Amino acid sequence: MHADGGKDFVFHLRLSGHLEVPGDGAVPRFERIRFKLDGGRVLSFVEPRVLGKVYFVDAASYPSALKGMQRMGPEPVERSFTVRYLAGRLKGRRASVKSLLLDQAICCGVGNIYSDEALFRAGILPTRPAAGLAAAEMVRLVGSLKRVIRDGIRWCGTTLADRRYLRPGTQSGSFQRRLKVVAREGEPCRSGCGGTIRRVKLGNRSSYYCPVCQK
């Protein structure tokens, strides 16, 4: 957020931080910083795990702690996020495609939920080495990433049982009602293929997939 006097507020939410506008003088649990707004309302930075941070910096000179933000790749919804771009970034990489989609220098804004859902839509196993993806699979993956992010925005985000994500007015998102694989281990695949959703650990993160629909 741009402030007066050439200053910026930079919010790094990390795993569980969020911004909230509480009503009726309420103080949200795990509130770390409170900003007073016009009209008597407030904006709270809420962070249960104390991992997120807020920086107040010179807009023309970001500190070294924020240099990583300047190395972030494009978001899937950007025009520059093309099949050619992603194929170039994944070329020759033996790491799993899921792990590389979580690399913010490659695929900014894609986390655990949206990578799993995009890989399901594209019919690609999360454990596949990125270098082994065929050209047609890359086309499907880029299209799936774009669509799943747009769907997440359309349905106001994903609020699971842990309640880590809430909208600023403390309402839940609704994309969780449309998830095909995430948090559905042991349940039947919603595609009607007859498969059962499985879970595998990749880099200490749970990945969900359908062994029938994804190859």
pLDDT at residue 155, rounded to an integer:
94
Domain pair 4-71 / 83-177, same fold: no
Q: How far, in Å, CA of 2 to CA of 163, rounded?
A: 29
pLDDT at residue 65, rounded to an integer:
85
Query: 133, 124 in Cβ contact below 8 A?
Result: yes
Q: How far, in Å, CA of 114 to CA of 51, rounded?
A: 21
pLDDT at residue 68, rounded to an integer:
80
Level-2 CATH architecture, domain 83-177: Orthogonal Bundle (1.10)
pLDDT (tens digit, 0 to 9) for every residue of the chain, 215 residues total?
Answer: 999 999 999 998 887 888 999 988 889 989 999 999 888 899 999 998 889 999 999 998 888 888 887 789 999 999 999 999 999 999 999 999 999 999 999 999 999 999 999 999 999 999 999 999 999 999 999 999 999 999 999 999 998 887 778 888 888 999 999 999 999 999 999 999 999 999 999 988 999 999 999 99
pLDDT at residue 116, rounded to an integer:
98
Question: What residue spans define the domains of the chain?
Answer: 4-71, 83-177
Q: Which CATH code fits 4-71? A: 3.20.190.10
pLDDT at residue 87, rounded to an integer:
97
Q: How far, in Å, CA of 130 to CA of 94, rounded?
A: 6
